[in-house]
Amino acid sequence: MPEGYQRKIERFLYNVFPAIRGTGGWITYIADDYREIRVKLPLSWRTRNKVGTIFGGSMYSAVDPFYMIMLMKILGDEYVVWDRSAKIRFKKPGRETLYAEFHISQEESDEIVEILETRKSTNRDYVIELKNADGEVHAIVEKEIYVSRKRRPATVSVNEPALSTE
């Protein structure tokens, strides 16, 4: 899906936001429906550690918020979405630019909505691979995301008498 003008503006704003900019990562694409995001993490003076590879913390932080953001945008304001836990496994040192892709299918979001019709909350597990341009995996991040429906405010029944202030 091509990236529309509105998403290009949002992508720019995300990329200059200090919490994302500080990771050294760079968002390269946001789908108009927020079902796909792509990120690159270059080896640079900002991400390079003492031994000349990408900091593990840069690898994690460059991919940290995106599944939460995607679910918030896809599901809308009726839902609460939080990161619950994360785990990172390093496979190879990052000696070059790494890339990550995030995908949430229509079936995945439909399943979440369906589950929350009968349950208070659900936890979803996602896996992100940080790969070089040749597709070699350098790190694997596992994220657990909590999703629930927001509480609906209590409504007063039309048949209930109003409380007296006397």
Domains recognised in the chain with CATH numbers = 5-149 (3.10.129.10)
CA distance readout (Å), 87 to 125, 137, 165: 11, 15, 55
Residue with tokens 């000349």: 52
Residues in the chain: 166
| Distance separating alpha carbons of residues 61 and 84, to the nearest angstrom | 15
Residue 97, classed as helix, strand or coil, is coil
pTM: 0.86
2: confidence class by pLDDT, cuts 50, 70, 90 = confident
Closest residue by Cα to residue 89 from 142, 144, 143, 136: 142
164: confidence class by pLDDT, cuts 50, 70, 90 = very low
The neighbouring-strand residues paired with 98 are 41
Q: Which two tokens stand for residue 161?
A: 């008498």
Burial of 155 (0-12, 13-18, 19+ CB in 10 A): exposed
The beta-strand segments (E) located in 112-152 are 121-131, 137-149
Residue 95, classed as helix, strand or coil, is coil
DSSP 152: P
**8 A C-beta contact, residue 126 and residue 45:** no
pLDDT tens track for 95-136: 999 999 999 999 999 999 999 999 999 999 999 999 999 999
Q: What is the mean pLDDT of the chain?
A: 91
